[in-house]
Amino acid sequence: MGIQLGKPSIDLGIVTTNGEAMLAFYRDVIGLKVQGQMPMPGGGTMHRLLSGDSLIKLVVVPSTPAAAAPGGIQGGAGYRYWTITVTNLTEMVATCSEAGAAVVWIEREIRPGVRIAMVADPDGNWVEFLQIG
């Protein structure tokens, strides 16, 4: 049968012990809207941030979990980056860079009419900004 979506977006969970820096990056630098926060079973806090209709769950845990392999796309298997489609790519890259985020890939055209750039959040997770047109 296949998937029958309950909403036209996804929720993404990012687990961190670096809550203050990660929240500042996603809320203040990128500009995701805060929907709220809630305590997590077993300890910690989930900060709920909106990227359009998608929910980004920034989960701050009290103890250090096993870390994902560093190195972005080529660093290991599994989830390595996520994409936000924007209309202000150049501005987003400049804003992230000015805030001290590492620009992993400078702005570039990957096919006619499609430009991308990649930045790293404070934990080293890669965020791709994509602009069409």
pLDDT tens digits for range 4-38: 889 999 999 999 999 999 999 999 999 999 999 99
CB 109 within 8 A of CB 94: no
Answer whether residue 60 shows pLDDT above 90.
yes
Superfamily assignment of 1-65 in CATH?
Answer: 2,3-Dihydroxybiphenyl 1,2-Dioxygenase, domain 1 (3.10.180.10)
pLDDT at 63 over 90: no
Cα–Cα distance measured from residue 100 to residue 77, given in angstroms and rounded to the nearest whole number: 27
Q: What is the pLDDT of residue 62?
A: 87
| Domain 72-133 in the same topology as domain 1-65 | no
The model carries a pTM of 0.91
Query: Which class would CATH give 72-133?
Result: alpha beta
Q: What is the phi-psi region of residue 114: left when phi exceeds 0, alpha when psi lies from -120 to 50, beta otherwise?
A: beta
Share of the chain above pLDDT 90, in %: 82
Per-residue pLDDT reduced to its tens digit, 65-113: 787 777 888 888 878 899 999 999 999 999 999 999 999 999 999 999 9
Q: Compute the average pLDDT of residues 44-63.
A: 95
Distance, CA of 90 to CA of 130 (rounded, Å): 10
For the chain, which residues make up each domain, given as ranges? 1-65, 72-133
Q: What is the pLDDT of residue 76?
A: 81
Confidence (pLDDT) at 5: 87
**Amino acid 46: pLDDT:** 97
Looking at residues 42-59, what average pLDDT do you find?
A: 96
